[in-house]
Amino acid sequence: MKHIDLEGKTILVTGAAGFIGSNLAERLCKEFKDIQVIGFDSVNDYYDVKLKEYRLNKLSTFENFKFVKGNLADKELVSRIFEEYKPSVVVNLAAQAGVRYSIENPDAYIEANLIGFYNILEACRHNPVEHLVYASSSSVYGGNTKVPFSTDDKVDNPVSLYAATKKSNELMAHAYSKIYNIPSTGLRFFTVYGPAGRPDMAYFGFTNKLIKGETIKIFNYGNCKRDFTYVDDIVEGILRVMQGAPEQKTGEDGLPIPPYNVYNIGNSNPENLLDFVKILQEELVRAKVLPEDYDFESHKELVPMQPGDVPVTYADTTPLERDYGFKPDTSLRDGLRKFAEWYKEFYK
């Protein structure tokens, strides 16, 4: 593992108006001396743009943060950013997210997740970087039934196009690591949640519906288990990984041994969806987002599984602990409490 000192460096964070990207950019700006963070995002309207603007407004208070609005699929623009700013470390978090949306809008996924990622790889090839860190997803495990999910498992059964694009990212990164000796690390995130998160995620969508008095649908009759990971844990994991790149070595064939790694970042503690909803309700009442006498039972509907969904996600995070000394540990109650308090504040 090669240690990378982030002080005084230029870091490119794509998806900087996004949930994870904005939290990462904020910590980088706050914690590292003489760092310059270049944030890149298309600020599309896949969900409420007000949330993205809220996150960018927070970042605009940092003098060492610069925002560039643009589309990753625009190869010329991506090349220009690399040539102009010469980032040492690139964290690619920009992607078209969401499993269900990929069923109706495949174009968005091919453009952002395949062409966009290809443009990043090409830019890293022509403007060498110390480390490329990129977001993969727990969805690559698809129909796997062996739990917990290990990065040693075969992942050849994607159940959504979104998952297929994320698996493709790992394969593309591997090829570029091998041919051009680009140190790259992929991170498979497990159900990330927290304040100012994504409204298309269950906890946020449930909250929006309960406030309006609508019914929430609980899939697979509540028998889904998810490894919910609090956003601060994800960001801490990314920060540690950024600072330790896979070693560049030459193999017997005279070619690079690909400086390539993939890790899970999850809570390795899957929670049943019904328990999750119960804790969310309690915290929404506690934060006075919902009244104490709210009748939850009448607003719940248990429904069958959705296409593209999987019954369980469960991360084996042993390699992350071994190599970076880190394991996510925020409890679901603590995380949902912070979300409920933020929600109360943001939506008044």
What is the Cα–Cα distance from 51 to 63, expressed in whole angstroms?
Answer: 21
CB 220 within 8 A of CB 318: no
Q: What average pLDDT does the segment 287-291 reach?
A: 96
- For the stretch 116-154, pLDDT in tens is 999 999 999 999 999 999 999 999 998 888 989 999 999
Q: pTM for the full model?
A: 0.95
Report the mean per-residue pLDDT for the chain: 94
Q: What φ, ψ does residue 63 adopt, rounded to 5°? A: -65, -25
- For the stretch 160-208, pLDDT in tens is 999 999 999 999 999 999 999 999 999 999 999 999 999 989 899 999 9
CA–chain centroid gap for 252, Å, is 36
User: In 10 A of CB 319, how many CB atoms?
Assistant: 15
Class in CATH terms, 2-193+229-268+314-329: alpha beta
N- to C-terminal Cα separation, the chain: 47
**Which is the catalytic residue, given 118, 141, 162, 176?**
162
DSSP state of 315: B
Buried b (16+ CB within 10 A) or exposed e, 93-131: bbbbbbbebbeeeeebbbebbbebbbbbbbbbeebebbb
The residue whose two tokens read 């110390």 is: 130
CB 200 within 8 A of CB 98: yes
User: What's residue 208's pLDDT?
Assistant: 95
Can 162 be counted among the known catalytic residues?
yes
What is the Cα–Cα distance from 341 to 265, expressed in whole angstroms?
Answer: 25
pLDDT at 308 over 80: no
